[in-house]
Structure 1
Amino acid sequence: MPTFQIHYFASASTYTGKQTEHLAAPLPLSQLFDTLEALYPGIREKVLVSCGVSLGEEYVDVNGDDGSVVVIGPGDEVAIIPPVSSG
């Protein structure tokens, strides 16, 4: 089965108990949060609402507000990145 790799950082890693895993591809980017919510109930409200998402090396808009349809393909890398602060 084709897959993509997803990396979890900080609170996302803590919530899932994983740093990385493979999920089935292709997957429309707009369905990513629904897929993660099905795997980890409560993650949307507790973690994902404040996270950035990257596909490859670029941040992407999971909601597709710009009207484009982005699909996560086999072999792609996705990262869930909680807000970062510095002092």
Structure 2
Amino acid sequence: MSSTFTIHYFATASQYTSKNTESLPAPLKLSTLFDELETRYPGITAKVLSSCGVSLDGEYVDIEEDKELLIMAGSEVAVIPPVSSG
């Protein structure tokens, strides 16, 4: 099995990356996820990620509070922009 995890992009995150999913190297500390994405997609932190939620294997995580969590090979991460109501 390869040492990667899958990241899913929704709404504005998908538009910004032009992808719905991709594989990233694992393990990766949750605290460095946004840095990794910023390296791949310059400007994404300010324009998209700063207002997004993140889930790890179906559970919402807090990038600050859960920063020591490791995203392991085979995990699934989702970048979820805020849901607007209207």
TM range (shorter): over 0.9
Q: Which residue of 1 aligns with 2:45?
A: 44
Distance 1:80 1:69 in 2: 18
Could you list the per-position Cα deviations for residues 21-47 of structure 1 after superposition, in whole angstroms to 9, with x for gaps in the alignment? 000000000000000000000000000
Q: Map 1:75-86; keep pairs closer than 5 Å.
A: 75-86=74-85
Q: TM-score, normalised by structure 2?
A: 0.94
| 1:69 alignment partner, SS class | coil
Q: Which runs of 5+ in 1 are unaligned?
A: none
- Among all aligned residue pairs of Structure 1 and Structure 2, give the percentage whose two residues are the same amino acid: 65
Q: Provide the aligned length of Structure 1 versus Structure 2.
A: 85
The ranges of structure 1 where at least 4 consecutive aligned residues each deviate by more than 4 angstroms after the TM superposition are none
The answer to whether structure 1 residue 74 and structure 2 residue 70 are counterparts is no
What value does the CA root-mean-square deviation take over the aligned residues? 1.2
